[in-house]
Amino acid sequence: MFFSSKCTGDSSKGLANLFNQSRKLIPWDSVKQIVKSFADDPEFKALKDYIESADYKEKVALIRSSEEYNIFNSFVCNVLHLDLQQDGHYVSRNFLRRAPETGIRGLIYKIQSVIPRQKLRDLYAHLISTDDQLLREVTSMKSKEFERIVKRLRNNVPAYKELTVTLYHLGVPLDQLKGVISDALGWDMDWDTIP
């Protein structure tokens, strides 16, 4: 569930509703089978091991303890009405922690192949035209204020930079993900290219 009672808002509206309804359209059993099929992939194993490591946990703790993250999390919770911590645990608990083409990109492409993208687009188009709260939250995500908050987190928290470099070297296609985010939000961000 993408809505938390600690984050003000109505879970039957806005981004929380969009994500909760979208989750119902995803064929989770197929996604879980794809993840399991990558259990012996060296890149996937390296990423899974890293996410379970003390180094990863330490960097996440440093990021979460930063002022920049608290500002970012406050915006996400109070303006977008989403709970990042709860939903991050959902993803890692249901996919990476399950004993599980090749590599992280291969995993992503296989999962994309079973996602009903047109149904998700249709759901979004319907909800954005009928749900004022969703429209406000999407507008807030595309705002210069949110862009500044994200840039500040990215540029001022050393653990964030260290974590992104490590994930990049483990095969996570961060440049591709950044492009998707920039396109979706309409940001003309000067994303640093990761070495």
pLDDT at residue 190 tops 90:
no
> What percentage of the chain carries pLDDT values higher than 70?
81
- Residue 126 has a pLDDT of 94
Q: Is residue 165 part of a domain?
A: yes
Name the domain count of the chain.
Answer: 1
> What percentage of the chain carries pLDDT values higher than 90?
42
- Residue 143 has a pLDDT of 92
User: Mind spelling out the 3-state secondary structure of the chain?
Assistant: CCCCCCCCCCCCCHHHHHHHHHHHHCCHHHHHHHHHHCCCCHHHHHHHHHHCCHHHHHHHHHHHHCHHHHHHHHHHHHCCCCCHHHHHHHHHHHHHCCCCCCHHHHHHHHHHHHCCHHHHHHHHHHHHHHCHHHHHHHHHHCCHHHHHHHHHHHHHCHHHHHHHHHHHHCCCCHHHHHHHHHHHHCCCCCCCCCC
Q: Is residue 2 part of a domain?
A: no
pLDDT at residue 9 tops 80:
no
Q: Is residue 111 part of a domain?
A: yes
Global pTM value: 0.68
Q: Is residue 195 part of a domain?
A: no
